[in-house]
Amino acid sequence: MTLNTQILKIREKFLHEYKEVKNSKDIERLKIEYLGKKGLLQSLMLFLKDASTEERPVFGKEINELKNEITIQLENGLISFLSKEEDKKLNNEEIDVTLPGRKNFQGRFHPLTLLMNEVIDIFVSMGFAVETGPDVDSDYYNFEALNFAKDHPARDMQDTFYLNDEMLLRTHTSNVQVRVMEKFKPPIRCIAPGKCFRNENISSRSHVFFHQVEMFYIDEKVTFASLLATMDEFCSKLFKKKIETRFRPSYFPFVEPGMEGDIKCIICSGQGCKVCKHSGWLEVFGAGMIHPEVLKSGGIDPEKYTGFAAGLGIERLAMLMYNIKDIRYFTQNDLKFLQQFDL
């Protein structure tokens, strides 16, 4: 039997079987029988190797034409049968109006988003603008411009994710400070919310990424007293009552002098508990007067202008406000945990 005869025989066989098709399952069966890897058309290709050089392109063309013809007919037939079967199914179906309705669960904001939005709203109401910066930044804006020299020992305080020698995942939103100074002239009153990254061991108190709001104010005659008053006002607005604060000296390369701010424990009212480690106080931010070298990096004259800055950890504030003992709850996507928080 010649190859040409086999092609004609398969076409006749297909047309005969196609007339007997009754549903979409029959179409799928024919598709496997004729177009499958072990189908009849694939078997024809094995005979091409025995054809002469002149016959191969002719028979190859005929096989492809038959394949296209069968494919089109099967696709059209499948669409037609599926449509008819769907119509039949819908006509035979009945709606049981006695079945109870399905409750639609409304989405909620993540607790960190709730608190971040509240912190931003408070600072905006106090006259601060909002600026953002890149999560992936240069060593210059993240360290060097903030008075971290290349060999500065304070770099050891930051466990940094480096992408290469110059680029890294920012360790704080302080990387926005110099960018804003380059963009605007004093007076500057600004906050920079965002995500930060540090290569730390994940525990109940620390994570490899967290959220921070950097706040800074630069103008003539800005004093340390201005910083204390601003943070007192912020804490009172955030916790919606007068909060007793305490400030302790501390060191940060980009401020001088530097301090850490504590509030009287809102869980035990200063009596001492597990949350405040029985001290009666909770640390909520680091702050200080912006270092003259940082002002110079931003193109601002430190002889004329002064400024203050503070960094607030959103996870730390959320743990205090919502009495959450483990920072890992925020990233576990546990609906039982997340559904506790209102819209």
Q: Averaging pLDDT over each range in 94-98, 141-145, 263-267, 274-278, which range is the top one?
A: 141-145
- Of residues 325 and 329, more confidence is placed in 329
Beta-carbon contacts of 54 under 8 Å, excluding residues fewer than 6 positions away, are none
* Cβ–Cβ under 8 Å, residues 81 and 23: yes
Tokens linked to 11: 């076409």
Average pLDDT on 299-321 reads: 91
- How far, in Å, CA of 304 to CA of 282, rounded? 35
Residue 336 has pLDDT above 70, yes or no: yes
Give the residue among 270, 228, 223, 266 at the shortest CA–CA distance from 247.
Answer: 228
Taking 3-state DSSP, the helix, strand and coil percentages for the chain, each rounded to the nearest 5, stand at 45, 20, 35
The predicted structure's pLDDT at residue 136:
95
Residues in the chain: 343
Our CA angle for 154, 159, 160, nearest 5°, is 105
- How far, in Å, CA of 293 to CA of 288, rounded? 14
**How much is the pTM?**
0.67
Compute the mean pLDDT over every residue in the chain, rounded to the nearest whole number. 86
Q: Which long-range contacts (CB under 8 A, 24 or more apart) does 268-276 make?
A: 270/244, 275/320, 275/323, 275/325
The predicted structure's pLDDT at residue 1:
54
Weakest mean pLDDT among 80-94, 144-158, 236-250, 320-334: 144-158
Average pLDDT on 214-234 reads: 93
The band of 100, judged by pLDDT with boundaries at 50, 70 and 90, is: confident
